[in-house]
Structure 1
C-alpha cells in the first residue's frame, strides 16, 4: 500500500540506523507527537521493512555497515513507490561530501548529528506537509487528470474512465487503422502501484487483463512482447510512463510501424500533460499551502508571495512586491548571523534554520525558514525561493517544556535539575575567580504539623507564599530553588575569596531569611507563623563537589533543628560524623523489618477500681546487631521523614493482632481482664487514603475475631483538620469495630470541637501534665479540666506517665480510674508482660 493510500491517522516514520540508541531516541521523541515509528538496524533490513510498511517518511543514517544510507536511498528511489517518499539523511555536521552524494542519490534533505530533537520534530512535520501536498494531489489526480486534460484538448469531458481511454485511443489511432493492423489495443499507465489498465479500443474482440502480470518493467522497457499481444513502452528520459498493448492482425510489419508512431505521439502527449499538471500542481501548492512562500530575484527583491505569506506576516502582496525582503527583519539577529546565512546559500545553494522576523504590526515572531537558490541556464543565481512556517506555538510549547523540566510546578522556583545546572556553573566560575560560593539549605520547622492539621491545600499555599518571599529577597544572579517538600535552597555567588568575609555576609543573609520566614501568614482563616532552620556550607572551603556542598548544608540544617529550630548553623567538619551516623541509621532501618529486628514491648494500663490490668499499650523497640538497642526517639522521626513509617506501622499492627489472636485461641486466663491492646498510629499513617483498607487486610490476615480488642491511639494532629478524608477514615475504622483513643491529649491545638464530632472512646492525659500535676497549679488545672470534660462527653480517661503514689492519689480524687506508668510497670517484652498479667490480680489486690 502506498503512503497516500494509508488510512491510519498517524503518519508512519521508518528510522534506518545501526545505532540502537538513535532508534530508541527517535521513537521516544516522535511518538508523543502523533507518529508511528518503525525501525531497522541496517540498510538490508531497512529495504525489507520499507516494502512491508510503505512509510510516509524515512529517516536514514548515511554510515552503516553493509548497504550504506546512500545506496539504500538509490534503491528506494528506483522503486515505483519510492520516487516521492521524503528521505531525511542523518549525517555529521562537517560531512559535506556525504551530503552531496546523498542529494545526488535522491535524498530530500539532511539533518546533522547530534540531533536537535525539537528541530527534528519540526523538520519531519514540514517535510511531511510538503510531500503530502504533492503526493496526495499528484498521485490522486495523475491518472484521471492526465486523461481528462487530454480529452479537454481534443474531445471535451467524459463520464467514465473507460470512455476516456477509448476516445483517447480513437483520437491518436483512427479506428480504421486499428482495425486494419490490429484486432484491438489497450492502454496501461504507470502509477505508484505499477502499470494500471485504463482502456482499450474494442473490448469485444480481445480480453485484456486489468494488470499486466508476469512481465517485468525492465522487459517492457526493452520492448519485449507479451504473447499474444505486442507491447510498446511509453518512455521519456528512461522513465516508463505507460504501455500500449496491441494484437497484430498481420505479420507484414506495417502494423508495428503504425503502432510505433501511435506510441510516440501518445508519449509526447503524456509528457506535455504531465508538465502542465506539474505546473498546475505547483501553482495549487503555492496558493494553498499553510507555509509562507516568497520568491525573490538574485538581489532579494520580492517577485511573488502566496496567501500564507500574507496571513503570517500581515503584509498584503501589493505592499511588498518590488521591495527588498529585508523589510521583514526583526533586528534580533546581528550582521554576523546574516553573513553566515548568505555564505551558506552561496556555497550550497540552500539554507535552513530558525530566524526571527517582524510582522506588519511590529510583532516579532520566530519562524522556520528554508531558502533555495534557483540558477539560470548559465548557472548564475536568478531567484531565491523562501518557504517558512510560523513556529510561535512550538516556541511556546518548548518554553512550557523547559518550565516543566527546570522549574518547580507548585512554586515556580528552580527545581533540582536547574539547581544542579546552576551549581555546576557556579563552581566552575569559582574555580576561575577564586570567589566563594555559599549554599543555604532551608527547612521549614514543623511544616508537617500544618499539613496534618490544616490539610495539604493550606500547606501548598503556605509553600507558595514562602517561595514568593524568598524570590523577592534575592538578586537575579542568585538561585532560589525548591529541593522538595518543605525544603528550599539558596545559592549565593560572587562572595569574594576571603572565607571570613563570605561567612559574615552569608550569616547576615541567613538572619534576614529567618526573620522574613517568621512574618505571620494569613491563610484559610488562620494566622500561621512559620520558622525555618537553615544550614550553610561554602565552596571550596567545606566541600569539593556540588553534591557534597548540598549534603553538608543539609547536615548543618539538622544541627540547627537539634539546637532548637528557628536558627542557622554554619557547617563544621565535626558535623560530618553526625551525617554519617544518620545515613547508617537510615540504611539499617530499611532492613530492620526484613531482618526481624523489631519487637513489641507492652506497658500495662491498670484500672485501680477493678484492681486489674484491663489493657496495654504496644511500644516498638529496635535491637540491631550493629547498633544495639536504638531509642524510638532516634528512629521514629527518621521513619516519618523517609516514609518507612507505613511499613513499620503495618508491622506493629500485624504483630499486635497476632498476639490478640493467640490469646483468643489459647484462652489465656488473663484474657478476660486484659481486654485490649493499644497501638500508636502516626499522623502520616492515618493521612494515607488506604489506611482503613490496610488495617482491614491486616486484621483479616491475623484471624482476630473480637475486633474491640484492638485500640488505635491517634494524636490530636490526626483529627484537627476536618477534611472529608479524615471523617471518612474514622467512619471506616468505627465500622471495622476497633476502639479509638486520643493520645497525648492537651498538647495539640486548642480546637476541641472534634471531641463531639468524631467517634472516640478514650482520652489519654499527656504525661507532661501528670508529671507536673503535684508541683504546678496550671498542670493540675489542665488535668482536672480534661478529666471533667471527658466525663461530660461520656469518654473514659487514662492518665499516662504515673510514677508515684502521690500522683496516683491526686488523679483518683479527680475521678480518673485507669492509669499507665512506671509506678505499675515499665514497657516489657511479651514473656515478662504475660507473667505480669498472671500475677497482677494478687499484686494489685495488695495495693
Structure 2
C-alpha cells in the first residue's frame, strides 16, 4: 500500500517538440493541494528528470527556456539558474505515462502524499502541515515578490541613474552644441538676428553688434523694423495685403506671407546713421510642435558689391557712351570689343571689327619703321601715346590721337591691350585755323606782324650770308580813317582787302606782303640789285592804289605813304630796319602823302621827338600842366552870350604853349586821351557850375573823343563826375564828330542815349565833312548841329551863291530835325549876315572872340552889349 501511494502519475502530459531540447509538460495533483504542480520533464543520460515548470523566484514559465550546459535552465526574467541535477527529481516512464516518486516531490507535497490514508488525527496533522506548507509557500512567494520588487526598484533606480546620466550627457552636449552654435554665429561675417513673433530682436551675433554699432543691451528686445529706413518700412507695408490681425512687424509679416524673403535693404545703426546696403534673407522659425516662434534674419553687407556693381555699370556705360573710340584686343592685337564711338568714327560695325587684327585700320601714311618704333615703345613702357593716321570704312584717311595701354595677367604677361582714340580731324583743322590766325591776318589772309617778323629775320640772315640787299616797306593808307569812320567798318574792311590784293600784284611771288594792323602794310623785297628797284616797286604800288575803288557802289579815292629802309645800308636786323622804315613812312606823310620816302638819318630825330612828346604828355597829366580856354558863343542876333566851348591848352614849363594839333593825336594813339578827357570834363563842369549862377541859361560845350565815348567805363565815370562836381546837366553840352559816331554806330547810339538820359545835350561838331548817313543822323539823340568852319570860312560874299546855298541847306536840315544850328569859324560881317538871313541860331568864331581864359570870358560877357554894337 505504501509503495502504491509513493508514486504519483503526471497528468495533462504534452510533448513540447519545438522546445530546445524537446521536453514534456504536465502536472501532478495531490490531495489537499489547491493547485496542481506543473512540471517539465527532460530526457537525460540517466533517464528522466523533472523540475518545476515555473521559476521559483518570480514564477516565470520555463517551458521554452533552452538548457545551458545540458542540465541548467536560466530564467530570462532575472537570470536565476535551475539545475536538473540540483533541483530536479527522477521520473519513471511506463509506456506513454510518467510517474513521480512522492518522496522526490517538495517536502510538503511529499508528506501529504505519504500520509493521505492516515486516520483523522493524522489527517488533521496532515492538514495543518499542509496549511503550514501553504503559509511557508505563501511566505516564500511574498519573499520572492519582495525580492522581485526590490530587484525591480534597484533596476528602476539603476535605470533612473542611467537616464539621469544620459540626460546630463544630453544637456552637456546641448550646452556644447549651443556654445558651438554661438561660436559659429559670432564667427559669421554676416549679421544674424533672431526675432520673435512681435518682431523684437531676441538674439544677435557679434557681427550685428559690430556692423550696427550697438551693444547687446541696446539691440536685444528692440524692434527689428527700427533698423530699416522709413522708406523701406513703407515699401514693405504697401506690399502686405489686408491682414485680420494687428501687424507688429512688417518685416516678420513679409517673411511669413512669402514663407521666406530675400531683398536688398539699407540697415541703420546707432543714431539712425546708415550702416550699409545689405542683402536680407528671412526664414521662419518653428518649434518642434510646428508652432511659429519668429524668424531668423541674415544680412550680408553688399555695399562694396553694390559699389563695384555700380562702378562696373558705370565703366560699361562709360565704355559704351564715351565720346572717344575704345577698342580692346587680345595679346595678338585681335579686336575683342569696340564701343559705339568706334563704329561712329570708323564706320565699321561691331560685328565687322570683332575678331580682326588692328592692322585693317592702317591708312598707309606711315612706313614700317613707324609701327616698329611704336610697338617697341609699347612693349618697353606698357603704353604708347601719339598721333597716327587711320582709315575709315569708306577709305578716307583721318588723324587720331591714340593711347594704347597693355594689361598684364598675374604672371606679368600681356593679356590684353586697351586703346582709346579720338578723331582729331577738326582739331587739325582748328590748328590750321589757329596757325592762320596766329600768323596770318584774318581779314586779308596776308602774313601778320608775327610771321612778318619771322620772315624778315630769316631774310636778313640770308642777305648777310649771300651778301645781297633787301628793302623793307612800311605802307600807311592816307585818309583811311575818314572812310572807315564815315562808311562804316564793313566798307573799311572791304577797302583793306582790295588794297592787299593790289599790293600783292605789284610784287614778286617770292616777296612778302604783310598787314601789321589797321591800315598799315609792309613789304619785304629780297635780293634787289639797286636802291632804284625798291623805288620802282613803291611807285608801282602808289599808282595801283590811286585807281578808285568801287565799294558798295561808291567810288573811293585813296592814296598811300610808303617808307623804305634798305639793308645793309639802313640796318641788318629786324628792329633797326622796321624802325627806320616806320620813320621814313612818317616823313612821306609829312611831305604831302601819296608818295614814298627813303630813310634818312635825320628822320630818327623826328621819331625821337614823338617819343619825347609822349613822355612829356604823361608827365603833364601828373603835374597839372593843362589849362582850359573858352571861346564864347552868341545868338545870331548878338543879343547876348549863350555859352562857350571849352578848349584844352598845354602850357609846358620849358617849351611854352604846345598846340593841340601836336599833342591830341599823340594822346589818341597812346590812350592818354581818356585820362586827359576826364580831367577836361571835371574842370569844365566845375567852371560851368560857377557860371550857372552868374549867367542864366549859359551852356558850356566840351569835346569828346572816340576813345572816351566808346570806353566801357565812360558812362559810369561821367555820372561820377556829375555827382562830384554838382553841376546841373542842363548847363552842359557834349560835342561829338561824325567820324566818332560812325566808328561804331550801335555802341555810340547807346552811349549817347545814356548821356541824354542824364539831362546833358549832345552837339554834332564839324558837320558836313564826313560821310554820315542822314538816316543815322535822324535816329541819333542830337540836340545841336554845328556847321564845320570850312563851309563858313569859304563863303566870301553874296557872289558865292553855291556856298550860300549849301549853308542854307544845312541850316534848313537842322531845323527840320528840331536841332539848334551853330555856325563855327564866323570871322566876317558878311558871314554873319548870311547866317542871320537864313535863321541860324548861334555863331562862334573870331568875329566874336578867340579862345580866352575864364577870367577874360567873365569880363567879355559883362562888356558884350558894347562889343556887339562894334561887331554889327
Q: Normalising by the residue count of structure 2, what TM-score does the alignment of the two structures yield?
A: 0.56
Distance 1:687 1:281 in 2: 53
The question of 1:183 aligning with 2:183 is answered yes
- Asked if structure 1 preserves the Cα contact closer than 8 Å seen for 2:742 and 2:772, the reply is no
Which secondary structure does the structure 2 equivalent of 1:837 belong to? helix
Q: Within 1, Cα distance between the matches of 2:416 and 2:182?
A: 52
Measured after TM superposition, the shift of residue 177 of structure 1 is 9.2
The reply on whether 1:710 has 2:717 as its aligned counterpart is no
Q: What does residue range 30-49 of structure 1 map to in structure 2 within 5 Å?
A: none
Q: Classify the secondary structure of the residue corresponding to 2:516.
A: strand
1:782 paired residue among 790, 803, 810:
803
Match of 1:503 among 534, 541, 549: 534
Partner residue, 1:35? none
- Secondary structure of 2:580's partner? helix
The aligned residue for residue 60 of structure 1 is none
- Aligned 8 A contact 1:365 1:390 in 2: no
Cα distance in 2 for residues equivalent to 1:324 and 1:371 = 15
Structure 2 matches for 1:59-458, cutoff 5 A?
180=180, 183-184=183-184, 197-198=189-190, 204=203, 206-208=205-207, 291-293=325-327, 295=329, 302=334, 306=338, 312-315=345-348, 325-344=358-377, 351-370=384-403, 385=417, 387-392=419-424, 394-396=427-429, 398-399=431-432, 402=435, 405-408=438-441, 414-436=447-469, 438-458=471-491
Secondary structure at 1:357 match in 2: strand
Following superposition, the deviation at residue 599 of structure 1 comes to 0.7
Match in the other structure for 2:549 = 520
Q: 1:499 to 1:576 in 2, by over 3 A?
A: farther
Matched, 1:748 2:770: yes
- Check conservation: 2:327, 2:418, Cα contact below 8 A: yes
Q: Which residue of 2 aligns with 1:830?
A: 854
Distance 1:664 1:411 in 2: 53
CA distance in 2, matches of 1:491, 1:466: 13
User: Could you tell me whether the CA contact under 8 Å between 2:732 and 2:761 is conserved in 1?
Assistant: yes
Task: Provide closer, same or farther for how the CA distance between residues 178 and 700 of structure 1 changes in structure 2, counting only shifts above 3 A.
Answer: same
Q: Distance in 2 between matches of 1:279 and 1:723?
A: 59
Comparing 751-760 with 531-540, which one deviates more in the overlay?
751-760
State the partner residue of 1:18: none
Q: Deviations over 1:540-565 (max 9, x none)?
A: 54345434444433333333333333
Please say if residues 374 and 384 of structure 1, whose CA atoms lie closer than 8 Å, have aligned partners that are also in contact: yes
1:556-614 CA-to-partner distances (Å, cap 9, x unmatched) read 33333333334444433322222111122223223433321111112233557446544
Q: Which one is further off, 559-568 or 656-665?
A: 559-568
CA separation of 1:689 and 1:472: change in aligned 2, threshold 3 A? farther
Does the Cα contact within 8 Å between 1:452 and 1:687 map onto a contact in 2?
no
Q: CA deviation at 1:621?
A: 0.6
Residue among 592, 598, 603 paired with 2:626: 598
Which has the higher mean CA deviation after the structures are superposed, 595-604 or 583-592?
A: 583-592
Deviations 1:663-693 (A, max 9, x none): 235x3xxx35x83333333455445577666
Secondary structure, aligned partner of 2:623: coil
* Structure 1 residue 662, shift from structure 2 partner: 1.5
Distance 2:667 2:748 in 1: 22
CA distance in 2, matches of 1:432, 1:187: 90
Tell me which structure has the larger Cα radius of gyration: 2
Q: Offset at 1:326?
A: 4.4
> Equivalents in 2 of 1:502, 1:200: separation in Å?
102
Give the whole-Å Cα distance in 2 for the aligned partners of 1:744 and 1:530: 22
In 1, are the aligned partners of 2:389 and 2:397 still within 8 Å (CA)?
yes
Give the corresponding residue for 1:678: 701
Q: Corresponding residue for 1:154?
A: none
Q: Deviations over 1:786-816 (max 9, x none)?
A: 1465268546655443445566567667766
Q: Partners in 2 of 1:819 and 1:316 — Cα distance?
A: 84
2:588 to 560, 584, 587: 560
Corresponding residue for residue 236 of structure 2: none
**How many pairs were matched up?**
590
TM (norm. structure 1) is 0.57
* 1:699 corresponds to: 722
- SS at structure 2 position matched to 1:822: coil
After superposition, the CA RMSD in angstroms is 5.1
**Aligned positions of 1:442-841 closer than 5 A:** 442-460=475-493, 462-463=495-496, 481-484=514-517, 486-490=518-522, 492=524, 495-496=526-527, 498=529, 500=531, 503-504=534-535, 506-507=537-538, 510-511=541-542, 514=545, 519-523=548-552, 527-606=555-634, 609-610=637-638, 612-665=640-693, 667=694, 671=695, 675-687=698-710, 694-705=717-728, 707-718=729-740, 723=745, 726-749=748-771, 763-774=785-796, 778=800, 781-787=802-808, 790=811, 794=815, 798-803=822-827, 819-841=843-865
Instruction: Please list the CA deviations of residues 70-107 of structure 1 after superposition, one character each: whole Å capped at 9, or x if unmatched.
Output: xxxxxxxxxxxxxxxxxxxxxxxxxxxxxxxxxxxxxx
- C-alpha distance in 2 between matches for 1:575 and 1:761: 46
Q: Kindly indicate whether the alpha-carbon contact (under 8 Å) linking 2:407 and 2:418 is maintained by their aligned counterparts in 1.
A: no
Cα deviation, residue 372, structure 1: 6.6
Taking structure 1 as reference, are residues 784 and 511 closer, same or farther at Cα in structure 2, changes over 3 Å only? Answer: closer
* Alpha-carbon shift at residue 430 of structure 1 (Å): 4.7
Paired residues of 2:495 and 2:549 also in contact (CA < 8 A): no
**Consecutive unaligned residues in structure 1, runs of 5 or more:** 1-175, 189-196, 215-277
CA-CA distance at 1:310 after TM superposition? 5.8
CA drift at 1:826 = 2.6
CA distance in structure 2 between the partners assigned to 1:443 and 1:417 by the alignment: 18
Q: Is the 8 A contact 2:456 2:524 kept in 1?
A: no
How many angstroms does 1:642 deviate by?
Answer: 3.3
Partners of 1:586 and 1:756 in 2: how far apart? 39
Q: CA deviation at 1:632?
A: 0.9
Contact 1:184/1:206 (8 A) holds in 2? no
Between the aligned partners of 1:185 and 1:423, the Cα distance in structure 2 is 88
Q: Which residue of structure 1 aligns with residue 73 of structure 2?
A: none
CA contact (8 A) 2:692 2:698 kept: no
